[in-house]
Amino acid sequence: MNHAKKIDYNERLTAAAEARKALLEKFKPKPMVTAPEPIDREARLEAQRAAIREQRAAEKEAARIARLAAEEEARQAALAAELAALEAKRAERKDRKSLMKMDAQQRRAARLAAYSKA
């Protein structure tokens, strides 16, 4: 303890009283700035909910459009595959008919050649 200062009983009492006053001042309500109009929390929350609803609706619409685009792409791919299969079938039939025609022409030529030799 610092004995350089001589503090008597009255000074200690006044210091304690000031400390109690300062402690009580902490608990007193402070002057506040009041808002010009009260904050409507319900309206703010409803606005947030509406924004979230709009965002979700936009996301849902985007997903629907993407799904429709994917379905259309799949339909186009299936149509292209069907057309390719049909074209391959037609080409195979065309090749088969041309082979049959060439075979018939060769048999006819052989037959005519056999008659012409005789």
**Residue 29 maps to a domain:** no
**Residue 3 maps to a domain:** no
pLDDT reading at 103 higher than 60: yes
Tell me the per-residue pLDDT of 33-85, one tens digit each, with 9 for 90 and over. 787 888 889 999 999 999 999 999 999 999 999 999 999 999 999 999 999 99
| pLDDT attached to residue 34 | 80
Write down the pTM of the prediction.
Answer: 0.46
| Sign of torsion over alpha carbons 103, 107, 112, 116 | positive
Give the residue-averaged pLDDT of 18-32: 88
SS3 84: helix
Indicate the number of domains in the chain: 1
**Residue 107 maps to a domain:** yes
| pLDDT attached to residue 33 | 79
Tell me the per-residue pLDDT of 2-14, one tens digit each, with 9 for 90 and over. 555 778 999 999 9
**Residue 22 maps to a domain:** no
CA 36 to chain centre: 41
28 — pLDDT class (breaks 50, 70, 90) = confident
| pLDDT attached to residue 20 | 94
| pLDDT attached to residue 118 | 63
Distance CA 113, CA 118 (A): 9
**Residue 92 maps to a domain:** yes
